[in-house]
Structure 1
């Protein structure tokens, strides 16, 4: 059996794929409103997309907002994600600032999961995953390709590299150019998840890839993303729709 990653009682890698909903507010007020909305929907995880936050370049402002979100979200598991512009995010940080931001978020105790980008640099990623684990949080090591779907061999290599660099949960999201690319993504999901080293997260984006967001669990993806208000990536379904579909597929 795959190793289960348990976060606030949610067992990632077991049963029905878990649903994560992003927070993308730019201001404290918008985030407060979004957090209130998330308390009313049927989700498993919340993800704070810090790169959308207007004060994302201030560690102090981010940590203050993180503490407020933790309070507002109650016991909902929270993923802390600064997505760089090169991987589809809103802005860039240099490697030193990026590493510091993620370390401080993990040290705060307010983020349950830290998303670390795979191509930040092998040593930086290795050090961050070790530090995140030492601080009692879980690491997702992620890669996003908004231009294409690499070969199955390349996708498998990236997921395995994430694991080698210390990821508790490797994640990959890719853009399909045709339905065959979605099959490639699902095939690698099955291939790597069958190695049973722990949960992985995969998805194919845009309308063509929507099937991967609802059926990915059949092939071994442990978590999918839905939207409560604003989608953080192309192809995200509304969370209420997603829950109904998942319950039908995995009942």
Structure 2
């Protein structure tokens, strides 16, 4: 499996790398949050720009992004606009979504950009091609807040992300039973064993799916999301507890 590097962080080897989101609405809140995170044992910071109150002002986004880059030092930044249909705070027309993602990639201040893989193939290709041309990594994503699809469907979605050129395919789904969590884990294992040639990220959301955020190294998920106060999705757990469990599992394997 290919290893993906974000600055000094190697994804696809060892225990899952920890991502912590920033979901501030103002520039001041975002930068204050960044200062807090510089002392936390994490690997990647995700800026959830869909929460940002000035997201429709591109110069403001890029200015805040530059300040965020300076505040975080060498910590990799994942730039994410999560659309409302996949659980985000707001919606953007496809052309504006693309413009935002490509501007972030071209700024040089982000290390990876999230692209929702079911935004329409032409939109997705434009985003992925542009982000790659800017020399940045693509996290291809899909979120289902209503249910857990079948194992075959989960694998289909992950393979589509891989086939379209996402460097790190990611899927998050909502469980309605313990069996749904097992479906997600089984799909992760099969994808990793049979099809994946790059790191993948999978998770089952809500408190019922917490186990999926902890055992990625066993089943094949290469990154996981932790919380430092604020959360961006249901089921995220505090980073200090998350790191402790990841280390216990890693040392036992």
Question: Normalising TM by the smaller chain, what interval?
Answer: over 0.9
The 3-state SS of whatever aligns with 2:41 is coil
Give 5+ residue unaligned stretches, structure 1: none
Q: In structure 1, what is the equivalent of residue 229 of structure 2?
A: 229
Displacement of 1:217: 2.0
Aligned length: 250
The 3-state SS of whatever aligns with 1:106 is helix
Output aligned runs, 1:160-171, within 5 Å: 160-171=159-170
Using the alignment, how far apart are the partners of 1:107 and 1:43 within structure 2?
25
**2:23–2:49: 8 Å Cα contact kept in structure 1?**
yes
Q: In structure 2, what is the equivalent of residue 209 of structure 1?
A: 209
Using the alignment, how far apart are the partners of 1:243 and 1:100 within structure 2?
36
- Partner deviation per Cα, 1:177-202 (whole Å, 9 max, x = no partner): 00000000001111111234100000
1:250 aligns with 2:247: no
**1:3–1:196: 8 Å Cα contact kept in structure 2?**
no
Moved over 6 A (4+): none
State the Cα RMSD in Å. Answer: 0.7
The 3-state SS of whatever aligns with 2:135 is coil
**2:226–2:238: 8 Å Cα contact kept in structure 1?**
yes
**1:37–1:228: 8 Å Cα contact kept in structure 2?**
no
Using the alignment, how far apart are the partners of 1:90 and 1:109 within structure 2?
25
TM-score of the aligned structures, taking structure 2 as reference length = 0.97
Q: In structure 1, what is the equivalent of residue 37 of structure 2?
A: 38
Output aligned runs, 1:99-138, within 5 Å: 99-138=98-137
Using the alignment, how far apart are the partners of 1:147 and 1:68 within structure 2?
36
1:143 aligns with 2:160: no
Displacement of 1:134: 1.3
- Partner deviation per Cα, 1:89-126 (whole Å, 9 max, x = no partner): 00000000000000000000001000000111111112
Using the alignment, how far apart are the partners of 1:192 and 1:178 within structure 2?
22
Using the alignment, how far apart are the partners of 1:81 and 1:192 within structure 2?
24
TM-score of the aligned structures, taking structure 1 as reference length = 0.98
Displacement of 1:143: 0.3
Displacement of 1:141: 0.6
Using the alignment, how far apart are the partners of 1:216 and 1:243 within structure 2?
12
Q: In structure 2, what is the equivalent of residue 240 of structure 1?
A: 240
Q: In structure 2, what is the equivalent of residue 21 of structure 1?
A: 20
The 3-state SS of whatever aligns with 1:213 is helix
Using the alignment, how far apart are the partners of 2:56 and 2:146 within structure 1?
27
Using the alignment, how far apart are the partners of 2:14 and 2:237 within structure 1?
20
Give 5+ residue unaligned stretches, structure 2: none
